[in-house]
């Protein structure tokens, strides 16, 4: 059974947020591993569960180290007392951050559509102006 816990820990280390569809899938997958580790530990010794600090470590370990998620990865290296030690806090922070990222993405998309709409309107005005100008020139030439 000890080997199973070790293998599960290795697999848990390999789970990455970027490989999951969203934060919910990632955190659910991690929770299944925690449940499996706890089940193996309970089977072999009759007691024991994965410490919350270890669960938190694995959650943070799988977060991308890019600009979008930098504040989460800084938690792992932060030595202050503000570091969340509870996996539930980490999951909540990840969900809130993912929602903010989605809102930012939605805002960017809305801004791009607004720019396209403006450019389209400007193009139409330009086209109408050119068409009326060209139409007038043709009459003069005829």
Question: Whole-angstrom Cα distance, residue 41 to residue 50?
Answer: 8
The answer to whether 38 and 48 are in contact (CB under 8 A) is yes
Tokens of 14: 């390999």
Q: How many CB atoms lie within 10 A of CB 37?
A: 24
d(CA 8, CA 88): 20
What's the burial of 17, exposed, middle or buried (CB within 10 Å: 0-12/13-18/19+)?
Answer: buried
Distance between CA atoms of residues 53 and 51, nearest Å: 5
Question: How high is the pLDDT of residue 60?
Answer: 85
Q: Which pLDDT does position 77 carry in this prediction?
A: 57
Mean pLDDT per 10-residue segment, the chain (142 residues):
77 93 92 90 66 88 81 58 68 80 66 66 68 56 44
* Distances, alpha carbon 33 to alpha carbons 15, 78, 118, 140, in Å: 10, 26, 50, 81
> Cα–chain-centroid distance for residue 93?
11
Look up the pTM and report it.
0.57
pLDDT at 142: 41
- Quote the CA–CA distance of 116 and 96 in Å, as a whole number: 30
Say how far apart CA 49 and CA 103 lie, in whole Å.
Answer: 37
Query: Residue 30: its pLDDT value, please?
Result: 94
């Amino acid at each position: 059974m000890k080997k199973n816990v070790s293998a599960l820990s290795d697999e848990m280390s390999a789970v990455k947020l970027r490989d999951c569809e969203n934060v919910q899938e990632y955190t659910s997958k991690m929770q299944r591993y925690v449940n499996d580790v706890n089940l193996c530990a309970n089977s072999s010794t009759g007691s024991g569960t994965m410490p919350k600090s270890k669960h938190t470590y694995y959650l943070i370990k799988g977060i991308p180290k890019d600009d979008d998620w930098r504040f989460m990865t800084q938690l792992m290296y932060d030595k202050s007392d503000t570091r969340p030690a509870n996996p539930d806090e980490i999951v909540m922070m990840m969900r809130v951050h993912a929602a903010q990222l989605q809102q930012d993405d939605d805002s960017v998309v809305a801004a791009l559509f607004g720019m396209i709409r403006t450019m389209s309107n400007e193009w139409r005005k330009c086209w109408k102006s050119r068409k009326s100008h060209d139409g007038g020139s043709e009459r003069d030439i005829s």
